[in-house]
Amino acid sequence: MLMKYVPVFKGMDFFPHDLRLPFMRYKGAALIGSIVAMAIALGLCAVMGLNYGVDFKGGSLIELRAKTGNADVSALRTKLNALGVGNVQIQEFGSPADVLVRLEEQPGGELAQQASVKKVTEAISADYTERRVEVVGPAVSSELRMTGFIAVAAGILAIVGYVWFRFEWQFAVGAVLSLTHDVVVVAGIFALFQFEFDLSTVAALLTILGYSVNDTVVVSDRIRENLRKFKKMELNELLNLSINETLSRTILTGMTAIAVLLSLYIFGGEVIRSFNLAMLLGVIIGTYSSIFIAAPLLGYLGVKRDWSDALAKAVASGKTKAKA
Amino acid sequence: MLHFTRAKILAIVLTCLAGLIVALPNFFSKSTVESWPWFMPKHQLALGLDLQGGAHLLLAMDQDEIKKDWINNLRDESRKVLREAKIGFAGIGTQGLTQLVIKLAKPEERDAAIKALNKVRQPLGSMLMGGGGYDVDVFAGPDPSTVIVRESEQGIRQRVSNAASASIETVNRRVNNLGTSESTIVRQGADRILIQFPGLTDTKELKKLIGETAKLTFHEVHPSMSGEDAKLGTVPPGYKIFPSDKSEGGGDYLLREQPVVQGEDLADAQPGFDSRTGEAVINFRFNQAGARKFGNFTKDHVGRPFAIVLDNKVLSAPVIREPILGGSGQISGNFTVESTNTLAVQLRSGSLPTKLTIVEERTVGPSLGADSISAGKDAGLIGGIAVVCLTILAYGTFGIFAVVGLLVHLILTIALMTLIGSTMTLPGIAGLVLGVAMAVDANVLVYERIREELRVGKSPVSAIDAGFARAFITIADSQLTTLACAIIMFWLGSGPIRGFAVTLTIGILTSIFASVTVVRLLIWYWLKAQPKGQKITVPV
């Protein structure tokens, strides 16, 4: 049989399993730190504002490639500034032959946007080819902004609803707070570095929610299991044990996710770079929040210790089935 | 529960095989796939505009324009109805875009007026659809001698909806006249139309083609008063000032507002050249009704000018030399060869009920799309290798099984996407990658559990058994929450968010099968293959 020829070799434990890190000892500091981080992030969003891309701000984006040689950004700038289409933002993009031209939303409604793009493309048609043109009018951009916001909020609600349904309400509270934390902090980082915030960033935020809740659920699951197993254990100690028991999984999964995202960030092309950046940040922040926010909150909220008989029975019958 | 029944094994293997067969064409080029024998599947995933290049235009109708047209019609009709009923009125005024205020001469005729005006109402939709009601409400105004005619919400909605359907048909005909047929034209929301045109990157022609309503009308020119005179004095009733289209100061024309013939009566329009001047012109032909109307008009107006008006601008105003009875003629104007082509297409496909404005445009060049594909492939390959290395390093032999599970996961995801005919986009690739991460997580959860069970001192078989059983609850919970999130994304999101959500959803659906069931089957085979009577060491 073929399986005989599969070599048998042992995998290695990346993480010593008997290590018991005292996470709960730092929960106070972590919570204060998280609250401060959220406050700073909100402040950054308010003061510096998010650098909205054309999806949300309206306006136009034109990606150009020089027909010969490298793109001459300064010459292009002089040329386009003379067109009278408002503030023109020019940025190198990927290879030296490529540039990204951004026009802000033109006064005068939808037609004005088209007219400004036409002016630009006609002015540069001798030296550059258009690789991508995106024009978003004022009506659509405000709509996209609204649906983007609703999508994130509804995403959080859906997750919380599911967690509440499967666990106790305390778990749902922990989940909603850690998810909100993740979204706010990532948004704050985007505001601080003025990374572009567009539709794909929103998709990334939703993905971060998915990843973060995945982490939270794994830890919560273990907490629930341990609550049944160690009826007398002090709650803080139990939370700490649960986090430590799932830590090797947290780290290995985090490592594979980061490996994939890093390769997408480096090799995946310029177009999805902001998407990947948000995801990378989110994986790290999401992992942090499930350990330092969602779990300690259960301690503060005083999670129920005696699980209903019905649930215990369901688990027991599951076990007997497994033995049969 | 490690044991698998024969039927189960067969089902698993068949599922994997079916997935492989369906997904297979995606790994070859289109031309290779086409040369395959008939029994092989040939259906490939469609590439999104961001990967193959193409244009995406979102057009919006002008709702105010539609309302304005309607209220004007309503006013004319109300006037006619009141006259027929011999009810005197002092005036009909419009209030906003949805309401008429009719001032009656005698207040005691109000009930009769309301009864008469009820004739302008149209029932909404079909009764079968549970529509009911009318598009217009007629009721007494606050003042004893006024009657109000107001358009109802549903009436406006129906009007906009009808205009949208008519616009889609017209756009469809115009676009099909371009000769490329792979476009999709769909309604979005109440008043928007989305056009997707794979492969097309020069949108100038397309935009020109759909940018004009192309409403062609023929009008009588006022016999004595010129446009300039009318501008200074008062415009005679029934007449209206129309600007000229000519850029070099053509001046204004005073024309009868009611056209003699409209574009609806046009049977054909073709670009051509004037045989005498060599100028680019459009040759047109009316249908029977149009030809009759036009014939009668020209017979009565020999020696006087008439105006050819396009989108409320006068193209030209030739003098009628002799009656035009055959129903065909020629439009000259300031045309170039291209503009006669575009205009002829527009005229042939009928006029749009209202002007369409481009509210969103996304065009991706084919070279950028190709770059994105190759970048996605590179990144996917490198990321994949990283995941494979990490998994095998961490879990040894069982890591190899997990990698096989991952492959199955990927193939099944692509197969399902091919089956439901979804489109592969750049965010979709990212969704695929996240699906892989979720599948890896499922295996990590299982293997970590097995390790724990072994540490407590369980036998290999029962540790593996318990590992799968216990991890399954966690896997199901974590995947289902992500699924809830993905469904919300699909439901509420637009564009890139949707593409991402679709692949993520499919990825989650296949990951439990691939990384739990398939991997468990492999481990079961492996356990059976171990030499009997010897102590088994679990290689995690």
Mean pLDDT of chain B: 86
**Cβ atoms < 10 Å from Cβ of A107:** 8
- B chain contacts of residue A3, beta-carbon cutoff 8 Å: 525-526, 528-529
Q: Which pLDDT tens digit goes with each residue over B324-353?
A: 888 888 887 778 888 888 888 888 888 888
Average pLDDT over residues B467-484: 89
Average pLDDT over residues A139-168: 87
Where residue B464 falls among pLDDT bands split at 50, 70, 90?
very high
Q: What pTM did the predictor assign?
A: 0.78
**Is B358 touching A (CB cutoff 8 A)?**
yes
Q: Return the pLDDT at A324.
A: 34
**Is A266 touching B (CB cutoff 8 A)?**
yes
Substitution target in A17, A209, A250, A253 with the highest count of B β-carbons within 10 Å is A253
- Which of B357, B434, B487 comes nearest A110 by C-beta? B357
Residue type at B401 in one-letter notation: F
Q: Return the pLDDT at A322.
A: 40
Q: Could you report the predicted ipTM of this complex, rounded to two decimals?
A: 0.84
Paired tokens of B495:
């564009």
The C-alpha angle B181, B182, B187, rounded to 5 degrees, equals: 100
Distances from the Cα of B343 to the Cα of B125, B243, B291, B353, angstroms: 34, 19, 21, 16
CA distance B197 to B49: 8
CA distance A318 to A313: 8
Phi, psi torsion values for B212, nearest 5 degrees: -110, 150
Q: Which of residues 137-156 of A touch B (CB under 8 A)?
A: 137, 139-140, 144, 147-148, 150-151, 154-155
Q: Return the pLDDT at A308.
A: 52
| Residue given tokens 């009141």 in the structure block | B82
Q: Return the pLDDT at B310.
A: 84
**Pairing status of strand B328-331 against strand B313-316:** unpaired
Residue B220 has pLDDT above 80, yes or no: yes
Reduced to 3 states, what is the DSSP secondary structure of residue B256? strand
Substitution target in B193, B195, B357, B360 with the highest count of A β-carbons within 10 Å is B360
**Pairing status of strand B423-424 against strand B46-47:** parallel
Paired tokens of A96:
């030296």
Residue B127 has pLDDT above 60, yes or no: no
B61: left (phi over 0), alpha (psi -120 to 50) or beta: beta
Average pLDDT over residues B434-447: 90
Residue A125 has pLDDT above 60, yes or no: yes
Q: Which of residues 174-213 of B touch A (CB under 8 A)?
A: 201, 203, 207
Residue B444 has pLDDT above 90, yes or no: yes
Residue B374 has pLDDT above 50, yes or no: yes
pLDDT: is A307 or A247 the higher one? Answer: A247
CA distance B55 to B198: 6
- The answer for residues whose C-beta is within 8 angstroms of residue A249's C-beta and 6 or more apart is A218, B441, B444, B445, B448
Q: Return the pLDDT at A192.
A: 94
Nearest CA of chain B to the CA of A253: how many Å? Answer: 6
- Which of A129, A148, A263 comes nearest B383 by C-beta? A263
- The answer for residues whose C-beta is within 8 angstroms of residue A311's C-beta and 6 or more apart is none
CA distance B400 to B389: 10
Asked if the Cβ–Cβ distance from B488 to A202 is below 8 Å, we say: no
Distances from the Cα of A159 to the Cα of A152, A167, A216, angstroms: 11, 12, 11
**Is B69 touching A (CB cutoff 8 A)?**
no
- A chain contacts of residue B363, beta-carbon cutoff 8 Å: 130, 132-134
| Residue given tokens 């790290």 in the structure block | A284
A135: left (phi over 0), alpha (psi -120 to 50) or beta: beta
Exposed / middle / buried, residue B270 (Cβ in 10 Å: 0-12, 13-18, 19+): middle
Q: Contact, A264 vs B430, CB < 8 A? A: yes
Give B198-203 contacts, CB < 8 A, sequence gap 24+: B198/B47, B198/B49, B198/B52, B198/B53, B198/B54, B199/B52, B199/B53, B199/B54, B199/B366, B200/B54, B200/B55, B201/A130, B201/B53, B201/B54, B201/B55, B201/B363, B201/B364, B201/B365, B201/B366, B203/A133, B203/B55, B203/B57, B203/B361, B203/B363
- Which of B207, B469, B488 comes nearest A151 by C-beta? B488
CA distance A64 to A81: 16
Q: Contact, B423 vs A199, CB < 8 A? A: no
CA distance B244 to B259: 16
Least confident of A20-24, A59-63, B400-404, B448-452: A20-24
Paired tokens of A201:
């960033």
Nearest CA of chain A to the CA of B512: how many Å? Answer: 14
CA distance A63 to A61: 7
Paired tokens of B520:
């468990």
Asked if the Cβ–Cβ distance from A63 to B368 is below 8 Å, we say: yes
Nearest CA of chain B to the CA of A11: how many Å? Answer: 4
For residue B375, what is the nearest residue in chain A, using CA coordinates?
A: A268
Cα of A21 vs its chain's centroid, Å: 27
Nearest CA of chain A to the CA of B409: how many Å? Answer: 16
Q: Contact, B540 vs B396, CB < 8 A? A: yes
Asked if the Cβ–Cβ distance from A110 to B359 is below 8 Å, we say: yes
Least confident of A172-186, B106-120, B322-336: B322-336
| Nearest-10 Cα torsion for B305, B308, B313, B314 | -30
Q: Which pLDDT tens digit goes with each residue over A1-28?
A: 677 778 888 888 877 777 788 888 888 9
Nearest to residue A290, comparing CAs of A176, A157, A164?
A176
Residue A303 has pLDDT above 60, yes or no: yes
Q: Return the pLDDT at A315.
A: 55
Nearest CA of chain A to the CA of B467: how many Å? Answer: 12
Q: Return the pLDDT at B249.
A: 59
Q: Return the pLDDT at A321.
A: 44
- A chain contacts of residue B400, beta-carbon cutoff 8 Å: 6
| Sign of the dihedral through C-alpha B340, B341, B346, B348 | positive
Number of inter-chain CB pairs under 8 A, A vs B: 263
**Is A19 touching B (CB cutoff 8 A)?**
no
Substitution target in A60, A120, A214 with the highest count of B β-carbons within 10 Å is A214
**Is B523 touching A (CB cutoff 8 A)?**
no
Q: Return the pLDDT at B247.
A: 55
For residue B401, what is the nearest residue in chain A, using CA coordinates?
A: A6
Where residue B373 falls among pLDDT bands split at 50, 70, 90?
confident
pLDDT: is A259 or A210 the higher one? Answer: A259
Nearest CA of chain B to the CA of A18: how many Å? Answer: 10
Q: Return the pLDDT at B468.
A: 93
**Is B375 touching A (CB cutoff 8 A)?**
yes
Reduced to 3 states, what is the DSSP secondary structure of residue B95? strand
| Sign of the dihedral through C-alpha B452, B456, B460, B465 | negative
Percentage of chain B modeled with pLDDT above 90: 21
Q: Which pLDDT tens digit goes with each residue over B67-107?
A: 888 888 888 888 888 888 888 888 888 888 888 898 888 88
3-state helix, strand, coil split of chain B in percent (to 5) is: 55, 20, 25
CA distance A159 to A317: 28
Residue A320 has pLDDT above 50, yes or no: no
| Nearest-10 Cα torsion for B43, B47, B49, B53 | -100
